[in-house]
Amino acid sequence: MKYDIVVVGSINMDVIVQCPQYPEYGDTVFCNSIAMTPGGKGANQAATVARLGKKTALIGAVGKDSAGSSLLQNLQSKGVDTTHMLEIENQGTGTFVAMVDSTGENTMVGTKGANDFITKEDIDGIFNQIEAKILLVQMETSKESIIAAMKAAKERNMYVILDPAPADGIFEEAFQYADLVVPNKQETERITGIEVTDQETALLAAKKIREIGVSDVIVKMAENGSLVYQNDVPTLIDAIKVTAVDTVGAGDCYAGAIASAYLDTNDLIEAAKFASVAAGIKVSRTGGQDAIPTLEEVEEYRKTVSV
């Protein structure tokens, strides 16, 4: 089967807790609301790619439970091909709890569940059945599935985009198979040991990642924009000015938008500008995957700003 972009990654049920502020250690406090929404970095990125008009498949795993069935149905409703999704016996679907405070910032904790049981054999068998131009992968599934997918993609001359998230999942071996890496500030510090506070420190970190062997790097700096480092030349991309109400999934939206725009333009700077707008719109809304903007919304917004 042929696709524009294939995403290998996680699919989770997210429990979103809206709270005025984070509780102190040991406290019990009342929150504003609790909602269960489809999530997982792979699923969010695949939903973004589909929302932006590209033919995409998610390769990942759920448990044989009601949460897994619900999540697959949700992806299908959003135009994501789930033909190659796995259902793992005796493992639950991944579940994460996100606490979102009044500033829109989030802190998460959870279990990977079935995501951690995807094997090299699973990946190799699926890649023998598919074709695509771009692979988008994160670090929220099993290590062997990540490496197998990146190797298979390189063998097939696919452009490999690695979103090295979450920070706890980072391992160095994956970087040698990536064409582009798009870490946020926390992930950049985990990879390089450099705390990103401004454009200068972002550039130092990007150079260090380049030394690992990655051709292109984009360091995401949230409201301070992003730094594209390509061909040893840095370019600062401004973030759009929005009021952030929910940052859950913002990085996933950015990664999906980067892949989609790069497929169209083959221009990393233009892709980063597009992704900056898409992620900015996303954080200005609540609603998980339903808050991901459409291609038309991004293009219409870009007519009003200089990004």
Q: Which whole number is the average pLDDT over 120-130?
A: 98
pLDDT at residue 58 in the model: 98
Give the model's confidence band at 174: pLDDT under 50 very low, under 70 low, under 90 confident, else very high: very high
Residue 12 marked as a ligand binder: yes
**CA–CA gap between residue 49 and residue 292 (Å, rounded):** 10
Q: Which whole number is the average pLDDT over 162-179?
A: 96
In a domain? residue 25: no
In a domain? residue 27: no
* CA count, 13 A, side-chain hemisphere, 49: 32
pLDDT more than 90, % of the chain: 86
In a domain? residue 257: yes
In a domain? residue 15: no
Please, is 243 exposed, middle or buried when counting C-beta atoms within 10 Å of its C-beta (0-12, 13-18, 19+)? exposed
Backbone angles phi, psi at 114, to 5 degrees: -60, -25
In a domain? residue 20: no
Number of domains in the chain: 1
How far apart, in Å, are the Cα atoms of 235 and each of 93, 154, 181, 226, 241? 40, 27, 15, 8, 19
Residue 32 marked as a ligand binder: no
Type of residue numbered 260: S
In a domain? residue 36: no
Residue 285 marked as a ligand binder: yes
Residue 4 marked as a ligand binder: no
The single residue of 232, 252, 264, 290 carrying the catalytic annotation is 252
Give the model's confidence band at 307: pLDDT under 50 very low, under 70 low, under 90 confident, else very high: low
Residue 190 marked as a ligand binder: no
pLDDT of residue 55 exceeding 70? yes
Backbone angles phi, psi at 265, to 5 degrees: -110, -25
Q: Is the Cβ–Cβ distance between 5 and 134 less than 8 Å?
A: yes
In a domain? residue 18: no
Residue 248 marked as a ligand binder: yes
Residue ranges making up the domain that contains 204? 5-10+41-90+112-302
81-121 residue pLDDT tens? 999 999 999 999 999 998 988 888 888 898 999 999 999 99
* 45's tokens: 């990125």
* pTM for this entry: 0.92
Residue 115 marked as a ligand binder: no
Residue 40 marked as a ligand binder: yes
How far apart, in Å, are the Cα atoms of 100 and each of 21, 88, 105? 8, 30, 6
Q: Is 168 a catalytic residue?
A: no
pLDDT of residue 295 exceeding 70? yes
Residue 44 marked as a ligand binder: yes
Q: Is the Cβ–Cβ distance between 15 and 144 less than 8 Å?
A: no
**CA–CA gap between residue 105 and residue 95 (Å, rounded):** 19
CATH number at residue 215: 3.40.1190.20
Give the model's confidence band at 306: pLDDT under 50 very low, under 70 low, under 90 confident, else very high: low
In a domain? residue 234: yes
